[in-house]
Amino acid sequence: MCEDDPDVARLIGMMLDKGGFEADMVHSAAQALELLTIQAYAAMTVDLRLPDQDGASLIRTLRDEKHTRHLPIVVVSAMAEEGRLQFNNQPFMVSGWLEKPIDENRLILGLRRAIAGITGDKPRILHVEDDQDIQRITAAISQDLATFVFAATLEEARAHLRSHLVDAVLLDLDLGPGETSGSDLFADIAQLDPPRRW
């Protein structure tokens, strides 16, 4: 939980504890970034008003870091609607938005939805695409239907297919400079047992 108001932070902490979550509390963006370098989390709540950095900038920073790029984030803020507009409702940036004062049931439900993809109940799709913006847009459009994993090169795609099961492959045929055609992966896909859709 990243919340600068100690009273609100305690309230959120009590709600999460009641909902069966174990939570750590920080009061600034700097503290959150420091803790995230040493500890992995299933999800995070962020207030948009923080003393050292606005929450929207913190979220963008987290999305640029490899270890937090896919961390589910729920915004809990009196400025939630302004935040939605700031992100242009880009669903890949934030998993959920909750206005203050906080509705306990909505907080717990929002967090459960944010981490639901971890259970593996959705189809798992390997998206072979070198353009990160296209990766994010595709995942955002289809986030309710599938869980995406990404590979930017044929080598990464082949390594993933050898070590993980996927239900389908979404393949860019033009993977950019230095790569042969994405269609070269067809032979690898065809040899998989059980076969994958592509």
| Average of per-residue pLDDT values in the chain | 78
Residue 39, SS3 per DSSP? coil
pLDDT for 6 beyond 90: no
Nearest residue to 147 (alpha-carbon basis) of 117, 111, 114: 117
> In this predicted model, what pLDDT tens digit does every residue of 94-115 receive, in sequence order?
767 777 776 777 766 766 666 6
The pLDDT tens digits of the residues spanning 14-69 come to 888 887 889 999 999 999 999 999 999 989 999 988 999 988 889 989 988 989 98
Alpha-helix runs per DSSP H in 87-129: 104-115
* 145, containing H or E segment: none
Please give the domain boundaries of the chain with CATH numbers for all domains.
Answer: 6-117 (3.40.50.2300), 120-190 (3.40.50.2300)
Residues 6 or more apart whose CB falls under 8 angstroms from that of 152 comprise 128, 129, 130, 132, 175
Q: What percent of the chain has pLDDT over 70?
A: 70
Query: Are 163 and 133 contacting, i.e. CB atoms less than 8 angstroms apart?
Result: no
Pairing status of strand 168-171 against strand 73-77:
unpaired
Query: Is pLDDT at 124 greater than 80 in this prediction?
Result: no
